[in-house]
Chain A
Amino acid sequence: MRVLELAYVIALGAGLGLASARYAVAERPWIGRAQVGAWTTWPKSGARDTDPYMRAYLARGVHLPLGAGEGLELIAERDDAGQPLDGRCRYAVTGVTPPARGWSLGVADPARGPLQLAVARESFTNAELVRDERGGLRIVAAATPEAGNWLPLPASGRFQLRLRLYDTPISSHAGELRPEALPRITRIDCR
């Protein structure tokens, strides 16, 4: 009986402990994340004093994150209304970007597979952008061609938008950003 009880405790401890650790670091961890509007960022992911969960996540793959002084990456999986980003819809990315020496806005697949795009353009940089007369930012993300700044999307399925700011002074206090300081993601319509 004692052996059975001991086996139960060990099986429960080892099984639950290992499974929960694996689950906690399979994706970017919940600890250390900052949510600003539709954008999620991990300000400490490129810092020397990053938390153990982020470190374990980085160690499980070929990750070379932006350093804290080098830049900041922001990820959006939902639009401003909270709906998941879907390749069947058209989205407008408008507003302003925080001060940075350069930035790029790219499309990525959550499962990290290669994207099937209509045109081989996975990202936009600030230099490639055509701005309107007031200097505003407007990028239309859609699976079919659009006039102006068009960011091609996969024909269907979930995707992520990734905004990478290079050499930006905000990387150390990214968690205190206000949503107005980042581009807005608005759904235009869906097929």
Chain B
Amino acid sequence: MSTIDDPRLLDGPPLPPGPARATATTGWLGRLGRGLRRLTLLTLMGLVLAGIVHILAVLLIPALAERDAASAYASLGNGGHAELVTPAPTGLPVMAEADPSSVSAVCSYDLGTGPVRVIAHIGSLPLGLTLHRRGGGVVYAITDRAAIRGVLEFVVMTQEQLDERLAQDEEGETSRELRVVSSSPQGLIVARVMLRRQADRSEAEALATSVACGPVD
């Protein structure tokens, strides 16, 4: 703000007594009012911007996440079998909020090299298989009650790979394989077995790590 805006200087010093002082006070109040209005407007603009930043930040967190489960356990399961994460392997972070009455084994996948086939032979303990995409969130869940003749089998693929397969399928023939579309090319296959009793731990660990995951061909 320049000195020209100051009404006292426009009137010229010194201030005459009486009505002129009242004018000066009114000018000062007017300036204060204008300033407050401007500040309110700027604050409102800031709040609108804050809303936009808030929404963008929440939506971007999954895409930028580097500490999510799929990133933390990306090195597990390359041997064609799921690997235990309860307890966490040395050097890897501990799974948050894990149920002490269950064991989990994970197998990471990258669909960039082609679809992944998952085969689980069920046992006597409750087994659940879930697909967790990179950036958090469950894409698919199935339990051993859906097993056919004791085997739970499905193929994980991207939408493009599914379209390709559908085009390759013989005319009129329905494929018998269960196809699951993953919305992200990377993620985790999690085999979770509930312990009925603490003594079931070794059986549950054997069941969870027996889940096979590997290329389709």
Contacts and interface: CB of A to CB of B under 8 A. Distances in A.
B61 A14 contact: no
A101 B126 contact: yes
Contacts of A59: 61-62, 65, 68, 135-137
B42 A166 contact: no
Given A50-B137, A67-B141, A123-B99, A60 B52 contact: no
Given A13-B52, A166-B126, A112 B97 contact: yes
A1 B1 contact: yes
Looking at chain A's contact residues, the main secondary structure is mixed
A16 B130 contact: no
A8 B101 CA distance: 52
A131 B127 CA distance: 25
A55 B133 CA distance: 10
Contacts of A137: none
Contact of A67 (B46, B59, B69, B138): B138
Contact of A14 (B49, B94, B101, B190): B49
B67 A64 contact: no
A59 B60 CA distance: 10
A48 B131 CA distance: 10
A65 interface: yes
A17 B50 contact: yes
A12 B43 contact: yes
A25 B72 CA distance: 19
A69 B54 contact: no
Contacts of B142: 67, 69-70
Given A12-B50, A59-B61, A70 B100 contact: no
A106 B57 contact: no
Interface of A: 1, 5, 8-18, 20-22, 24-25, 46-48, 50, 52-71, 101-102, 104, 106, 108, 112, 121-128, 162, 164, 166-167
25 contacts: A13-B49, A14-B49, A16-B53, A17-B57, A24-B58, A25-B58, A46-B138, A48-B183, A55-B137, A57-B136, A58-B68, A58-B136, A59-B62, A61-B69, A62-B73, A62-B93, A62-B94, A63-B96, A63-B136, A102-B194, A104-B194, A104-B195, A121-B198, A122-B100, A124-B101
